Amino acid sequence: MNNAPKVLACVDQSPYADQVTDAAVWAALRMGAPLELLHVIDRHEGAAPATDHSGTIGVNAQENLLNQLTEDEASVAIREREKGRVFLNRLRLRAQASGVAGPDMRQRHGSLVETLTEQQAGVRLVVMGRRGESSSTTLRDLGRNVERVVRAMDRPILTVTNNFAPPSQVLIAFDGGSAARHAVDMVASSPLFKGIPCHLVMVGKEGRSEASKQLQVAQSALMASGIDTVAAQVVGDPETALARYIEEQRIDMLVMGAYTHSPLRNLFMGSRTSELLRAAKVPTLLLR
């Protein structure tokens, strides 16, 4: 059994499952890490369909009703597990066809966040869809689990859109903060990005000497690790400026610090991370 830290692909039965699998395969092969496909059945997904029992009468009506409800719930749970097993096996075969030998698959019943935090000691990278299973029935453009998972984990999280391909260029959103410096260190040291040209981009007023110095130090660190790096300062609000740069330079992947402010601040001020995820249409590696 391979006990090396793994790439963990969080998949659900949404249109993004194949893309998540492909991204996880790419990462696992680049890092020489084992791959596990994880499907978490939400506690509420296995609930039995609602039935009107208001007319139930009889001496043992309450006990019989409880027994019937228990049997209904158990039957639904069994069907959900079997459906999930077939789904995972299809993705496992997809991963094998792409070059991963013996990917593991696991199915759990409960909360995705709780499941991930329990397992994170053995995880090197988490891969998940930008949106989830409810994407076809809601107007939400960012899955509800993304921020929760990023805040709960101290592992890198690769969020995938519906157009994953191995990146030919990556962009680090750099603001000089600790999360941005962590992003530079990871890109410089990880085999995930070895040989892939990098754009190091800071948004703000041009000509700021301190910002230029920070950018130059970060660029030097990347270049010293053998990564061809372009450093740039752009003007405008971060979401619009970075999204425009990504499109103009044909960037394939974004790397950035994420959710560095408290949830309470985000409630009143909004989250810059979420806004940038909405603006950028490329897979994004989030670091805390």
Q: How far apart are CA 236 and CA 53, in angstroms?
A: 60
Domain 6-45+80-160 and domain 170-287, same fold? Reply is yes
Q: Which two tokens stand for residue 213?
A: 């110095």
Query: Is pLDDT above 80 for 93?
Result: yes
- Confidence (pLDDT) at 260: 63
Domain 6-45+80-160 grouped into CATH 3.10.100.10: no
Sheet holding 35-41, edge to edge: 104-109, 35-41, 6-10, 123-129, 157-160, 284-287, 253-257, 170-173, 198-203, 229-234
The dihedral region occupied by 222, where left means phi > 0, alpha psi between -120 and 50, and beta the remainder, is alpha
Cα-trace Rg, the chain: 22
Q: Which two tokens stand for residue 207?
A: 């000509």
Q: How far apart are CA 171 and CA 181, in angstroms?
A: 13
Across the range 102-125, mean pLDDT stands at 91
> Taking each helix axis from N to C terminus, what angle separates 272-279 and 238-248, rounded to the nearest 10 degrees?
30
Architecture per CATH, domain 170-287, reads as: 3-Layer(aba) Sandwich (3.40)
Q: How far apart are CA 81 and CA 54, in angstroms?
A: 30
- Residue entry with tokens 């999930």: 84
**57: amino acid identity, one letter:** I
Per residue in 62-91, pLDDT tens? 666 566 656 656 566 677 788 889 999 999
**228: amino acid identity, one letter:** D
- Residue entry with tokens 């499109």: 247
Longest dimension (CA), the chain: 84
* CA angle centred on 168, ends 165 and 273, rounded to 5°: 75
DSSP for residue 284: E
109 neighbors 115 (Cβ within 8 angstroms): no
Letter string b/e over residues 235-248, b meaning 16 or more CB atoms within 10 A of that residue's CB: eeebbebbbebbee
Per residue in 30-65, pLDDT tens? 999 999 999 998 765 444 444 444 444 555 666 665
Per residue in 155-213, pLDDT tens? 999 999 887 999 999 999 998 888 889 999 999 999 999 999 999 999 876 656 788 88
Q: How far apart are CA 199 and CA 282, in angstroms?
A: 14
**Is the whole model's pTM more than 0.95, yes or no?**
no
Q: Which two tokens stand for residue 51?
A: 């039935």
Query: Is pLDDT above 60 for 137?
Result: no
Q: Can you give the residue ranges of every domain in the chain?
A: 6-45+80-160, 170-287
- Confidence (pLDDT) at 183: 92
